[in-house]
Structure 1
Amino acid sequence: MNLGFRAFCATLLLSMPLMASAATPNIVATIKPIALIAKDIAGDKGNVEVLLPASASPHDYALKPSDVKKISNADLVVWVGPEMEIFLKKLLNDKANALALTAVNGMPLRHYSEEGAHSDHEGHNHSHDGIDAHIWLGPEQSKVIAKAISDALSKASPENAATYEKNYAQFVRQITAVEAQLNTALDAKNAPGYFLFHDAYGYFENTFGLTPTGHFTVNPDRKPGARTLIKIRSALEENKANCVFTEPQFNPAIVESVVKYTNTKTVELDPMAQDIDLATQGYKDFLLQLGSRYEECFK
């Protein structure tokens, strides 16, 4: 090979763009709390986007063409599963790059009973439709989610596997520390009564030994009936609850009408991490925010 040809080849190689995209997978998470976990694991070795606006509910979201484009361009799509994002079931069920978290091996799941309450997974036979899909609200579940994302990213980008594993180990240490902090702060033995807007926080409450007095609705797509509202109102008048939790994704008018003229305060719980900044914060900040809202109620 003559020197002129070698010089030409060297110039050509230097002018070619670096294949950065292969080392930096594009990750789409359906909701921000899942995106926070994905960002914690990916670090600077992954681009994380959120599919749903923080103000939207995954219970009844309608896909836009831009959403479909995001999904088709992703190296990894992380969704809770068909029990939550029904609108993605047909689109993602057969996708090799889609990670359904409720189907992850070892995920500690809870189930809705026929009465609408929850029961533990062990020792019961339930239909798949009965899964409580709010798994991102559980600290222990978040660790399983983080491991599943780490494994999926390591397959998509093997050259960064060591970074993902290191970030996962750090994630577990952080969340374990937050659990210890909240266990002390929330003090389940002395926790007062409280009502939830909808029955979504069982994973979080199980972790810290908390039990709500009740909830307005099991499914936010269904308005609470008159009997339920009368029962809650009576409990509030009898001072059986310190507060009622609202949610920014749903109209607070029902809660406000029931609480009116009682001594009960309202506190906003945000299961979708609306106020958490994906660029600068992590999943631990989301958990700490949830814990602080419970603390505000309990004071």
Structure 2
Amino acid sequence: MSFFRLFSLMTVLVAGASSARADVAVVTDIGPVHSLTAAVMEGVGAPVLMLPPGLSPHDHTLRPSGARVLESADVVIWSGEALAPWLGGVVDTLAEDAISVALLDRPETEQASSQGRGAAEADPDHEAHEDEHDHEQEHDHGAEHAWLDPVVGKAWLNVIAETLSEADPLNAIVYETNAAAAAAKLDTLIREVQEQLAPVRGRGFVVYHDAYAPFEARFDIPSAGAIVESEAAPPSAARIEAIQTRIAAGDVVCVFGEPQFESRLATLLAEEGNIRLGTLDPLGATLKPGPELYPMLLRNIANSLSECLTE
């Protein structure tokens, strides 16, 4: 072996050894973002999750311990102010020297969300646009939960890898490789969920709150309505009456609650209409934080829909 080839080999080995541990402090806000970041960092480090599982990001309050975490951050990867307003005013002040990325605000998010969606978005006469509860407005709110579209999740993997590579160029190859591997797993998940939900498309269901439009559009399985339009406000009498009318007409076979919220209304609607009651979890509140939370969250939504809508 020539001296040059030996020197090149030693250089690679030294670089590989130095990539074993990332020398950056990475902070994330919600479980899905933490999961995608953890997948990209696998083998070299682990991000910090600021929002404890089971809590809503909409009305969370930053605690002193959270402020200290932000102050020590080198990188902040978060959803965005539309979903997590409690972070919106403090990231630039408490983590002023950190690289900060609000994923919902990135152009890649909108580009990915419109890429190759199903008939629910392509056909203006589809029942998804006939709902009495102003579906167009609900899609705007659903955009805050863009990660429920796994194509957006794939785009976020790339953004996260690029961001981490900027902060930690020594591990850039690791981040890029991990992101590609995680994206490949999501490709498989997308195909499997499409097949799983095919038999139950067209069967009506009601969700607790208007968060699932990205998932519904990606997999062409639109809901018949949402009990509440926003977590911040109780449902109107007109909204509940419209849902009751659809249930009475036989247009709805299942109503879903969520683990983060009191499910009394969902339970009452299901009992009153003699239809099934299920649970959908958009944040992975019951799952262990880590790289597997995000794909498991999507599979759980698909499983819940399939089970509740199967006759």
Q: Please, what TM-score do these two structures have when normalized by structure 1? A: 0.83
Partner SS, residue 78 of structure 1: strand
Whether 2:148 is the aligned partner of 1:137: answer yes
SS at match of 1:196: strand
How far apart are the structure 1 equivalents of 2:229 and 2:92? 26
Find the counterpart in structure 1 of residue 107 from structure 2: 105
Match of 2:188 in 1: 177
Shift of residue 238 of structure 1?
2.5
Superimposed CA distance per residue, residues 250-273 of structure 1 (whole angstroms, 9 cap, x where no aligned partner)? 111122222223221111111111
CA contact (8 A) 1:40 1:282 kept: no
Contact 1:150 1:168 in 2 (8 A): yes
5+ long unaligned stretches in structure 2: 1-17, 115-128
Q: TM-score if structure 2 supplies the norm length?
A: 0.80
* Structure with larger Rg: 1
| SS of residue matched to 1:260 | helix
C-alpha distance after superposition, 1:49-105 (max 9, x if no partner) = 211111111111111111111112222111111111111111124644221012223
Matches within 5 A, 1:128-277: 132-187=143-198, 190-277=201-288
Count of aligned pairs between the two proteins: 273
d(CA) in 2 for partners of 1:87, 1:281: 26
State the one-letter code of the partner of 1:71. L
Structure 1, 172-181 or 279-288: larger mean CA deviation? 279-288
CA drift at 1:276: 2.0
Q: Encode CA deviations 1:113-143: one digit per residue, 9 max, x unaligned.
A: 9x8533799xxxxxxx978211111111101
State the Cα RMSD in Å: 2.7
Distance apart, 1:39 and its partner CA:
0.7
Question: Residues 179, 214 of structure 1: CA spacing in aligned structure 2 closer, same or farther, 3 A cutoff?
Answer: same
Contact 1:195 1:243 in 2 (8 A): yes
> Residue 215 of structure 1: SS of its match in structure 2?
strand
Map of 2:68 onto structure 1 = 69
Give the whole-Å Cα distance in 1 for the aligned partners of 2:270 and 2:296.
30
Percent identity between the two aligned chains: 25
| Structure that is richer in helix per residue | 2
| Paired letter, 2:149 | G
> Offset of 1:232 from its aligned partner?
1.2
Q: Which has the higher contact order (CA 8 A, sep 6+)?
A: 2
Q: Distance in 2 between matches of 1:27 and 1:119?
A: 34
Structure 1: gaps (5+ residues): 1-18, 122-128
Query: What residue identity is the alignment partner of 1:50?
Result: L
The answer to whether the 8 Å contact 1:107/1:144 transfers is: yes
Q: Which residue of 2 aligns with 1:3?
A: none
Residue 158 of structure 1: how far off its partner (Å)? 0.9
Distance 1:219 1:259, change over 3 A: same
